[in-house]
Amino acid sequence: MKAATKTAPDKARARPNAAPKVGFVSLGCPKALVDSERILTQLRAEGYLIAPAYKGADLVVVNTCGFIEPAVEESLEAIGEALAENGRVIVTGCLGAKGNIVRETHPRVLAVTGPDATDEVMQAVHAHLKRPHDPYTDLIPPQGIKLTPRHYAYLKIAEGCNHRCTFCIIPSLRGNLVSRPIGEVMQEAENLVKAGVQELLVISQDTSAYGVDVKYRTGFWHGRPLKTHMNGLARALGGLAGKDAARGVWVRLHYVYPYPHVDEVIPLMAEGKILPYLDVPFQHASPKILKAMKRPAGSANNLARIRRWREICPELTIRSTFIVGFPGETEADFEQLLEFLEAAQLDRIGCFAYSPVDGARANELPDHVPDAIKEERKARFMALQETISAARLKRRIGSTLTVLVDAVGAKGALARSTADAPDIDGVVHVAPHATLKAGEFARVKIVASDTHDLRGALA
């Protein structure tokens, strides 16, 4: 997403007695979004104003993505646009950690940092834009500056990753796993809920590994001991809803690897403490391909675990991502993936045709799959998943669901059920009604469905 809009360049830099203004462009995943929020929060804490457009900004910060080639291209284009429209640009984010690509492409940038680098970004801002004399810290809400709508927020619990998947360069960009102190995470979550956030989306590179780097040490929140572990965190976050039971607070877990201890959070979902939703990046089902990817667990173990999860919590929604056309993938490997998909009956799916990432070890693997075959397999994969998705959604017709309303217009409302994470899953289209308000919960009776979405009216 972009937090700055396209405008003509600002010719007038000097504004006597006016607080300096910083423009901001935020690209990439939710983890990068949280980095942007932290930088924006610090900027406002120090008295800088945030410019809504290039015009009027004294400089622009561009938070980049550098994971796959299209993201690299988008980031480089965004930097070029900011330079053309404003001329004074600081670059941060994952692309900044990929060697000299930013400097070589755009030598005019003022500074370049990597991801999770609020301090370094602020040092660069200070070097090129004098810090306001009187910081207005009272203007900063306890939850900080957020780029998401008021009613939901991402809660990043860790940075980096200990896995060395051959298709991924995240560890080289963001380093090894570093877990945030659990008391700090819980305090941020509490501040967000007090500020009116209805849904907390827990994110990291590997949420189920939370705490492994600190040996699951005990932290404290309001004097209460809490173990730095995903399960303890999930239970504590679920307890926040109990402080405002009439309104409730949704807690949604993302990027959860299928480790055995994940089984322990499923009962919390069945009890309604956290949402019955798991985002698990399975990536493939062929043992040979999973080994080449250096991914944990195998398809047989995953199928058994999925069955066990659904026995405990029948309402569980499982989303996952897969890569087709990975180097060495044969037709037999792909058929095994389709068989897994049919057996698993996953609710939400993202599928990507493999593309080389500069610096990834998978580039050195033999037997790369031709692009035409990759795309053909992707189409077959998605066709099967669309059939599965349509059938699973059809079962919802006639039921009444609690939804969180995201937007209201003349034609009705766009809302999400517990099965729908923002931006990546489906939506619930709700017929117009005077009482519908964005950011509030509603009870909706489902009357129709399609491949990805549901339709309903207030119950």
Q: What is the total residue count of the chain?
A: 459
Q: In whole angstroms, give the CA distance from residue 146 to residue 80.
A: 25
Q: Within 60-213, where are the H helices?
A: 69-85, 101-105, 118-128, 170-174, 182-194
What the block records as the tokens of 254 is 């993302």
Six-digit token string for 159: 């940075």
Q: What is the pLDDT of residue 119?
A: 87
* Residue 246 CB contacts under 8 Å (≥ 6 apart), including other chains: none
- The pLDDT, as a whole number, for residue 133 is 57
Q: What is the largest CA-CA distance in the chain?
A: 69
Render 98-134 in DSSP notation, one character per residue. STTHHHHH-TT-SEE--SS-HHHHHHHHHHHSPPPSS
Q: How far is CA 179 from CA 185, 277, 331, in A?
A: 10, 22, 40
Residues 6+ apart with CB under 8 A from 419: 277, 317, 347, 348, 425, 426
- Count of CA atoms in the C-beta half-sphere (13 A) of 396: 28
The per-residue pLDDT for 219 is 86
pLDDT tens-digit series, residues 334-377: 999 999 999 999 999 999 999 988 888 999 999 999 999 999 99
Q: In whole angstroms, how large is the CA radius of gyration of the chain?
A: 23
In this prediction, residue 260 carries a pLDDT of 86
Residues of the chain with pLDDT under 50: 1-16, 135-137, 243-246
Q: Are 257 and 230 in contact (CB under 8 A)?
A: no
Q: For residue 233, which amino acid is it?
A: L
pTM of the model: 0.78
